[in-house]
Amino acid sequence: MSMMFAPRLTEAAAPTTHAAPTWSPYDNNGGTCVAIAGEDYCVIAADTRMSTGFSILTRNYSKIHQITDKSVLASSGFQADIRALQKNLDARHQIYQHQHSKQMSCPAMAQLLSNTLYYKRFFPYYAFNVLGGLDSEGRGCVYTYDAVGSYERSGYSSQGTGMQLIMPVLDNQLKSASPLVLPLRQSTTPLSEVEAVDLVKDTFASAAERDIYTGDGVEIVIVNRDGIRHELMDLKRD
C-alpha cells in the first residue's frame, strides 16, 4: 500500500544511455576542394582521391562538375549526396534555360545552390561546396558553402578534409590587408592566371603531405573568357 505513494523512479527521470548508432545514412569520402577568383578568370581545383574510412576507393574520381558555361562546382564530402546534388542542379538549370532562353549566371547559380541545400535542412546533403566561375561582368567569383546552404562570395576558398591546412596558406598569399591599413581591394586576387594555378598546385602538394584523405592527383579547372580548360597534376599516392 505504501508503495503506491512513494515516488517511483520512472524511466524518464533515470539517466538514460543512448545506444550507439549501428547505421549512418552518411559516409565521408574525403578530399579537398579549392577555388581562387581572379580579375578575369577563376581557378577551381579538387584532389582525385575517393576514400572511405582508412581505405581508398579510387585514385581517379572527379569532384568537379561543370553546371553552366560559366559555373563550376567542386564538392567534397559524401559523394553519393554530391552526385544527387549535381543532378538536381543540372535539372533545375535545364528548366531555367527552357524558360529564359539563356544560361544561369554564376551569382544566380550560387543562390540556387544555397536554396537547394537549405531545402534539405533537416536531412542535409553531406556536401561541402565551392562554386567558382565568372560573374555577368566577366570577373572571377568564388562562393563557399556549408552543408545547409549558408554562403558567401569571396576571393578564394577551400573546403574538405584538407581545408584547415590550405586555408591559412591562401590567407597568407591572397588576403587583402585590413581596410584600416590599406584601402579595401576587390574580392578578386591580383595574381595572374598562371600564378594562381601554381599556387593551387603548391597548396595541394602541401596538403597531401599531412592530410591522409588528400592525394593521388589534382584536377584543376580554369574558367576564363575563352572558355574552360582542364589540367591534371599527380600527387603523392601514400
Provide the binding-site residues for another protein, judged by CB under 8 A: 87, 91, 94-95, 98
Please count the other Cβ atoms lying within 10 Å of the Cβ belonging to residue 2. 5
- One-letter amino acid identity for 146? D
* Cβ at position 105, least distance to another protein in Å: 21
Q: Using the minimum distance from each CB to another protein, give the nearer residue, 63 or 93.
A: 93
**CB-based contacts of 55, cutoff 8 Å, min separation 6:** none
- One-letter amino acid identity for 8? R
* Cβ at position 104, least distance to another protein in Å: 15
Q: Using the minimum distance from each CB to another protein, give the nearer residue, 95 or 177.
A: 95
* Cβ at position 58, least distance to another protein in Å: 19
The Cα 41–Cα 71 span in angstroms is 11
The strand pairing partners of 46, in sequence order, are: 33, 219
Dihedral angle of Cα 18, 24, 29, 35, to the nearest 10 degrees:
-80
* Cβ at position 100, least distance to another protein in Å: 13
Do 91 and 112 touch, CB atoms closer than 8 A?
Answer: no
* Cβ at position 201, least distance to another protein in Å: 32
The Cα 32–Cα 62 span in angstroms is 11
Q: Using the minimum distance from each CB to another protein, give the nearer residue, 59 or 92.
A: 92
Q: Using the minimum distance from each CB to another protein, give the nearer residue, 89 or 142.
A: 89
Q: Using the minimum distance from each CB to another protein, give the nearer residue, 91 or 232.
A: 91
